[in-house]
């Protein structure tokens, strides 16, 4: 068996103590700066759709949440919102910081969920598809939701993983700020790393709230894109079979 990921980070310091550290005279280097320096030292990319959990040490996620809450508070103040008297937004900064780090962008700050792969002892080599898997993400350009569905097709290779694990790894990958074109490629990279398939294909269909809520305000517009790797790329009939299977899956659902 091969396992990935390690235990989640524990909370070691009292929140008030951390607030004091951050507020007292600014002698403390910001935790975001410490993490950034570590990333630079190790030459690790930290784009919006990258995972940076390897460079976050124990207890730092809690510190980061406090730092982000302060900055979100500053943003609200710059938006000229009366944080002192408006009961609705009094705790918004803390809520937003927590939501970013532990929910909607958890795929940046938290380790990959534990996924165990097994040797493909039966030498399975027929393709199968999994989907629809719900996609909840946010666009890198506006930080508003991207919501949709994806389908994953696999021609098994050396190792296999459980069906539910595809949904887990997809949720982890999508929970970052993204552009759709890169999101499918990052997910394909992770699936290749986890189970070394002979072929993998992903189709993603999503609605972008930056098009629904603002800008052109097109409420029904969606984007569909795909990525095919390995045998799915080299063998047109296999690629065709993958798209056909997903199509059948979609039709079965809409009945
Ligand atoms: Zn956008």
Q: How confident is the model at residue 6 (pLDDT cuts 50, 70, 90)?
A: very low
Q: Are residues 158 and 190 in the same domain?
A: yes
CA of 45 to the centre of ligand 1 (A): 22
Environment of ion ligand 1 (residues, CB < 5 A): 139, 141-142, 210
- Residue ending a domain, choose from 57, 75, 109: 109
Per-residue pLDDT tens over the stretch 205-233: 999 999 999 999 998 899 999 999 999 99
Partner residues linked to 135 by β-bridges: 148
CA of 177 to the centre of ligand 1 (A): 10
CA of 132 to the centre of ligand 1 (A): 23
Per-residue pLDDT tens over the stretch 164-189: 999 999 999 999 999 999 999 999 99
Q: Are residues 164 and 250 in the same domain?
A: yes
Q: Are residues 241 and 215 in the same domain?
A: yes
Q: Are residues 86 and 163 in the same domain?
A: no
> Into how many domains does the chain fold?
2
Q: Are residues 224 and 148 in the same domain?
A: yes
Domain of residue 198, residue span = 118-254
CA of 13 to the centre of ligand 1 (A): 37
Coil/strand/helix, residue 193: helix
Q: What is the CATH number of the domain that holds 10?
A: 1.10.286.10
Q: What is the CATH number of the domain that holds 204?
A: 3.30.1130.10
Cα dihedral 74, 80, 85, 91 sign: negative
CA of 141 to the centre of ligand 1 (A): 4
Q: Are residues 81 and 105 in the same domain?
A: yes
Q: What one-character DSSP code corresponds to residue 142?
A: T
Could you tell me the strand order of the sheet in which 159-161 lies? Answer: 2-3, 116-119, 159-161
Q: Is the pLDDT of residue 139 over 60?
A: yes
Q: Are residues 140 and 242 in the same domain?
A: yes
CA of 142 to the centre of ligand 1 (A): 4
Exposure on the CB side of residue 139, measured as CA atoms within 13 A: 19
Q: 3-class secondary structure for 42-96? A: HCCCCCCCCCCHHHCCCCHHHHHHHHHHHHHHHHHHHCCCCCCCCCCCCCHHHHH
CA of 219 to the centre of ligand 1 (A): 14
Q: Are residues 87 and 164 in the same domain?
A: no
Helices (H), the chain: 15-23, 31-42, 60-78, 92-99, 106-109, 163-174, 180-195, 209-212, 231-234, 236-254
Pairing assessment for the beta strands 159-161 and 116-119 based on DSSP bridges:
antiparallel
Contacts of residue 161, Cβ cutoff 8 Å, sequence gap at least 6: 115, 116, 117, 118, 194, 195
Contact of 112 with 94, CB cutoff 8 Å: no
CA of 222 to the centre of ligand 1 (A): 13
Q: Are residues 166 and 103 in the same domain?
A: no
Instruction: With residue 120 as reference, give the H or E element that holds it.
Output: none
- Calculate mean pLDDT across residues 134-158: 97
Residue the block writes with tokens 């235990």: 7
CA of 140 to the centre of ligand 1 (A): 6
Q: Are residues 181 and 62 in the same domain?
A: no
CA of 198 to the centre of ligand 1 (A): 34
Q: Is the pLDDT of residue 202 over 90?
A: yes
- pTM for the structure as a whole: 0.88
């Amino acid at each position: 068996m091969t396992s990935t990921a390690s235990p989640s980070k524990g909370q070691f310091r009292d929140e008030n103590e951390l607030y004091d550290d951050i507020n007292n005279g600014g002698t403390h280097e910001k935790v975001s700066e410490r993490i950034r320096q570590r990333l630079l030292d190790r030459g690790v990319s930290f784009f919006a759709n990258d995972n940076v959990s390897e460079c976050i040490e124990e207890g730092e996620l809690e510190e980061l949440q406090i730092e982000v809450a302060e900055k979100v508070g500053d943003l609200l103040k710059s938006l000229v919102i009366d944080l002192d008297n408006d009961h609705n937004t009094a705790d918004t900064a803390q809520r937003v910081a927590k939501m970013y780090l532990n929910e909607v962008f958890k795929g940046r700050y938290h380790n990959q969920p534990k996924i165990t792969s097994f040797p493909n002892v039966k030498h399975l080599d027929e393709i199968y598809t999994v989907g629809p898997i719900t996609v909840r993400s946010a666009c890198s350009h506006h930080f508003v939701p991207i919501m949709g569905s994806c389908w994953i097709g696999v021609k098994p290779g050396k190792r296999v993983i459980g069906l539910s694990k595809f949904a887990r790894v997809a949720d982890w990958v999508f929970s970052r700020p993204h552009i759709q074109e890169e999101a499918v490629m990052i997910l394909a990279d992770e699936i290749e790393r986890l189970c070394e398939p002979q072929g993998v294909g992903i189709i993603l269909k999503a609605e972008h709230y930056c098009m629904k809520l603002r800008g052109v305000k097109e409420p029904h517009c969606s984007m569909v894109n795909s990525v095919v790797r390995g045998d799915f790329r080299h063998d047109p009939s296999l690629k065709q079979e993958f798209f056909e299977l997903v199509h059948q899956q979609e039709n079965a659902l809409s009945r």
